[in-house]
Every structure is written in structure tokens, then in C-alpha cells.
Amino acid sequence: MKSLLHLIKHARFSPVDVSLLIPIASFLYILMEWLFIISKISFISGSSFFEKASVLLNGSGILALTAILISVPFMILYYVLNAKTGRAIIRILLCLIPALLLSVIVLLLIDNITYTTFKYGVVSTKGIVRTLYLVGFILLTIGLMYPIFKWSRSISKSRRNLTAKQKMQFPLILGIIVLACVLLPVAFNPYLNNPLSKPAAEISLEKLPNIILLTGDALNSAKLSLYGYEKDTTPFLKQLADVSLVAENNFSNAQGTIGSTTSFLTGKYPAETHTLASTDILKDADAFEHLPGILQSYGYYTVQLNFTYYADAYRINFQDAFIEANGESPVNNKIQSSLAKLLPTNNYYFMREVYSRISDRLEHLFYIKKMTNPFLQVTESPEKFNDQEKLDYLFKLIDESKQPIFVHIHWMGTHGPKYYPTQQVFSKGLDPTIQGKYVESFYLDSILDFDNAVNQLYNGLSTRGLWENSVLVVGSDHTQRWSIARVPLLIHFPHDEHAGRVVENTQNMDIAPTLLNYLGIPQPEWMPGLPLYEPLDPDRQIFLVAIPDSSRDPKTTAIVYPPFVAPFYQFGKVTLISCDHYYTINLVKKTYNDAKVQSYIGTCKTPPPTREEAFNKILAHLEKHGFNTTSLNGIKHDN
């Protein structure tokens, strides 16, 4: 500490000398984060080396420019002041910037190592340990100011004998490099403008109904009394079905919440957007082409109430979609929304990840906001989800909004592997605190909870006089434990319009076209689904995709997936569903099988396709969306 005070007192360097260290510290910080992200499966895994290099240089430039801009007011003040004490204080503040960058590098490096090796990191800290981490970080930052002072003084000495022109050359060149790293990706970004077209028709806000899209996680139609299950798991939905449009044989387009949610909100196949695994994001035009964006352009107030991290629109990189998404407001965050429009997707999302990783940890250490582990909650369900809060917030929105609202609520109580129902009917007498995984009686009770939530929605809208001015969509993202089976889909329109049963095969991707058609909004060409109340082809075929099968590491018990490699990366299986039959190609194991859809409702009017016909249709679907299928040619598809 005495050495540091001595350096401060006798320091003879200028703000320019310190500023030369900022780009170096910024590059080291971004380099470490870049290496961390590219060394694992991530949103950038399938990108070229040039794209990855662009992310590294662009990120370094943005961080360096930001840090320099923060230091500019202090530099100006330094040259205005003549007092030695004032200048010494400004030197401290200036040196704090690169010192803080270096201490953040150390914090993240230690956290990465301890969490990877011992499953213990900043997110695990609480009580006195959390305080010790905070004290350690502060002391580390102060300690790193010592070398920053020394390096700044060394730079000052080396520049002292230079001419005035020579002194300016190196900072000028470094500044040009930083600006080039920031601006060149913007200049070559082909998606600078939002590709969404302007509204093609004028619709009065007074005529637009509220739209509530309520999806339950992992609901099997076969377990809902709405679809004939012997136990009355959905008494209210069964009653509501009499005045609603009900899809008897509805299927998800992806076996996973992220892929499925993205698919029905964009109205696109997962194979087209390449969004399926937890590491995927929407890129380029796909980030702007979606249902909530269209509805927002017509005057809707758009909100998503989901589970942060999984299927969170903000995290998946939906742009100009939701005004609010799980407590965050991309619209209000002008810096992030501006970067999203200016930068190529990979570059923007990398900076967002860099910011999130350090802000989550620092907010936790400084007791601003507790850092949580969402992956543990989703995979193990150690505690109950906060679904009721979503309903409460929805009614708050309805009461306060002066415009029609579109809300997507994803109900996590039915997710599993453990369930915490508010009432025990089918699991009566069983202790939920000692339940195993995927216990059916608890699952059935969680479905009953979901049914009660729909009832709450009905009662809340009815008491406000809004039931006949609201569209309610009830569905699910995928089946329980990712089986190939039917998922529910019920839509209630105002005044009981379009009530009836749809027996033809339908898919979650039909939700967006159905809503747009009902509102009188033109369906864009990039949305291939169909309105559900229009005549459908009885031989209609559905495509469903899934990530590769996982396994558990016998030593660590961690879930392990095969590496995502070309040409299919995160896509592990592709299934074609034709009436009551399905055909699946396992893209990893190079196998092909077919079977009947269990609990299918109705009979098929025409024979299913042959194995060879179905095989070729799957290949055509993949090839249409840019996948090289030559590696599948050796798979036997004969009967």
C-alpha cells in the first residue's frame, strides 16, 4: 500500500499514457471471453473463422472505445486543473479503468475454473463467502492499480524524448485501429434495416382483441380429459372445448422448449432458423421476422412471461418483438437495441453475452441482484416455479394497458422432472418432498393446476368484461419426455367463433397464421403454416426435429451430448408425421425407423407413404433449408 501511495504521489505520466493501456486490457478481456465461448458449443459454433475473428476484433474495439469515452471527461478535467492533488486523484480514477478490466479478467477466469472443476463459483456463494468474494474482488482491483501505475510511468518515460508529432502518431494509429474494429462490421452488415414490412392494412385499435397465448410445458394430449383421458385432469378445458376450436391431432415442430417456442412465434421451421438447442439464437432476418413483431407494428403491446434463460425471447435474440420479456425491456435499453440493428448478429450477441456474464456476477457480489442457476432449475426442478406470478402480472397489464395486448405465458409447473402441484388430487397421500422423477400422479396434478390457470384467465377476463374481446390460445411446446405424440391446441375466439374440432394433422406453426388471418393481417410469405379454421389437406405432413440423444457421465453425472458437428450440428433427429404414422432419421446414429403415433384420434383416408417416400421427403426438407444430406445416402430405407 505504501508503494502504491508513493507511486501516486510521485507519478509523472499523462492521461494519454494511461489511455494507451485501455485497448490492451480490453483486448485481453475480450480474448479470454472469446476463447471461452468458441471452445464450447455456442451460438457461434457453426460460423467461419472470418466471422469468429470479426467478433473478437469488433468486441475488443467496442469495449476499448467505451472505456476510452468513459475516461474522456476525466482527461479533460485533468488538463483544466493545475492543483497537484486534483491531478493525482484523476490519475487514480484513470488507472482504475484498466485495473478494473484486468480484475474482471481474473474474476471470470477463476470462476470458470472453479465451476468447471468443482461446480462451485460466484453463483454458489452466499452469506460470509459472498462477502469474502466481494472483498477479494475490491482488493484485487486496488492491487492491480500498482502495475498500471508502473506501466503508465514506463510509457511516459519512453515517450518523453519523442517529438510532439511522434508522440501523437502511436495514439492516433491505435485510435484508428479501434475505430476500424468498431465500424467495419457495421459497414459490411447486410441487415442494417429491419426487414419487417410496414402494415399493409389499417386496423382500428378498438377492433383488435387481446391475445393471450398460454403454453404448458411438456403436455401430452393423451393425458388430458379434453382429449378423452379417463381421469378428469382438465375439467375446465373440456367445458371450454364446446365453444372453441380444438385441434385433435396437433404436433410440435421441435422436441424442446427453445426450438418449439421459436418455431411457433416465428411461424418458421426450426430447420430454417437453425434454432433448436439451448445455445442457438435467431440470426439476420430471422431475428426480425416473427408474430410479436407483426402484432407490435399494428399497435399491440407485446409481452412474454416465460422462464428466464430457457425460451426467453431476449436471450434467443428476438428483435423488435416483445416490449417486455421476463422483466427485461429490450425497447427501453436503447444501447442494446441500437447495437442489435447496427452489428451482425454474432457480433451483437457476443457483446450481449460478455455483458451478461460479468454483470450477473458483479450484481451478485455487490448484493444488487441474486445470481441463479436456471439450468439446474430446469433439469432437476429443486423448487417450484413462479407461474402464479405470471398470471397476476398479466391482469396488472390488462388493467393498466391503453392498447390491445399480446402476451405469451409459458407455464413451467408441468415441466418436471419433479412437480409441485398446489392441490393433490391424483397424488393424494403422497409426499411431494420425496417424490422421484416423472411420477405420473404428480404430473396429472400439475396438469390440473394448468387447467385451473386457464379457468383463472377466463374468470379474470369475464369479470373485466373482456372475455368477448380476447383470443385465448392454449397449447404446449412439446410432449413429456420428448416422445412423438400429440400436444394440445385449443383456441377460443370472441363470441365462440370458429368453434369445432379439426381432425386433420395440425402443427404449432399454424398458430401464427391462424391469428393473423383472424385479425385480417396479411400472412407473410416466410410463414408457411396454415389457418386452422380453413380446409386442410387430410394428407398434410408435419416435420418435427430434436437435438441428439443425451447421456450421463458416470463419474460426474452431468448430462452429456454428442459434439455438434457438420453438417447437421445441433440437429439429432428429423421426423416426418403423416396422418397416424411417423418416420424418423437419426442423423447422429445414421438409423431410420417408423411407427404409429400412439393414441391418434380418427382414421386415415389414404395409406401412409412408403418408407422410401418418407425418407426422400425428409431429405428434401433438410436440403431445402441448406443441409448437406449426402452422409445419409447409406441409410437403408426399404421395408
pLDDT in tens, 147-197: 998 898 888 888 877 777 777 888 888 899 999 999 999 988 877 665 555
pLDDT (tens digit, 9 = 90+) per residue, 257-283? 999 999 999 999 999 999 998 889 999
404 close to 208: Cβ distance less than 8 angstroms: yes
Closest CA to 105 of 140, 133, 139: 140
The pTM assigned to this predicted structure is: 0.84
Q: What is the mean pLDDT of residues 37-50?
A: 88
pLDDT at 380: 45
Determine the pLDDT at residue 103.
Answer: 96
pLDDT tops 90 at residue 101: yes
Confidence of residue 556 (pLDDT cuts 50, 70, 90): low
The gap from C-alpha 111 to its chain's centroid, in whole angstroms, comes to 23
Query: Could you tell me which residues are beta bridge partners of residue 212?
Result: 407, 472
Alpha-carbon distance of 305 to 381, in angstroms, equals: 19
pLDDT recorded at residue 377: 40
**C-alpha to C-alpha distance for 37 and 24, rounded to whole angstroms:** 20
Question: HEC string of 107-133?
Answer: HHHHHHHHHHHHCCCHHHCCHHHHHHH
> How confident is the model at residue 374, as a pLDDT?
52
**Joined grid coordinates for residue 467:** 372475455
pLDDT tier at 247 (50, 70, 90 boundaries)?
Answer: very high
Q: Please name every residue paired with 302 in a beta bridge, in sequence order, or none if there are none.
A: 406
In our burial notation (b when 16+ CB lie closer than 10 A, e otherwise), range 306-328 reads: bbebbbbbbbbbbbbbbbbbbeb
Judge whether residue 578 has pLDDT over 60: yes
Report CA torsion sign: 182, 187, 188, 194. positive
Per the CB < 8 A criterion, the answer to whether 416 and 439 are in contact is no
Task: Please give the biggest Cα pair distance in the chain.
Answer: 91
**pLDDT for res 11:** 61
| 3 state SS of 230 | coil
Cell numbers representing residue 528 in the block: 408457411
Angle of the 49-80 helix axis to the 345-365 helix axis, nearest 10: 60
Question: Is 584 a residue whose pLDDT tops 80?
Answer: yes
301/310: higher pLDDT = 301
State the pLDDT confidence band at 611, using cuts at 50, 70 and 90. very high
User: What is the pLDDT of the chain when averaged over all its residues?
Assistant: 89
pLDDT at site 378: 43
Using pLDDT thresholds of 50, 70 and 90, give the confidence band for residue 557.
Answer: low
Residue 448 identity: L
Return d(Cα 472, Cα 458) in angstroms, integer: 9
Alpha carbon 201 to its chain centroid, in Å, reads 31
Go through 178-191 and write b for each residue having 16 or more CB atoms within 10 A of its CB, e for each that does not. beebbeebeeebeb
Instruction: Dig out the grid coordinates for 343 from the structure.
Output: 452489428
Q: Would you say 387 and 410 are in contact if contact means Cβ atoms under 8 Å apart?
A: no
Domains of the chain: 2-187 (no CATH), 205-330+385-539 (3.40.720.10), 551-632 (no CATH)
Distance CA 456, CA 450 (A): 10
| Residue 384: pLDDT over 60 | no
* DSSP strand pairing (573-578 vs 581-586): antiparallel
Decide: 432 and 421 in contact? Cβ < 8 Å: yes
Task: Classify the C-alpha dihedral 338-343-346-351 as positive or negative.
Answer: negative
Mean pLDDT over residues 115-122, rounded?
84
pLDDT at 164: 76
**Interval 626-634 mean pLDDT:** 94
Phi, psi for 29 (deg, rounded to 5): -65, -50
CB atoms within 10 A of CB 416: 21
Highest mean pLDDT among 109-123, 330-344, 500-514, 601-615: 500-514
Of the candidates 109, 76, 106, 93, the one whose C-alpha atom is nearest the C-alpha of residue 145 is: 93
Which of 363, 348, 281, 268 is CA-nearest to residue 316?
A: 281
For residues 560 and 482, which has the higher predicted lDDT (pLDDT)?
A: 482
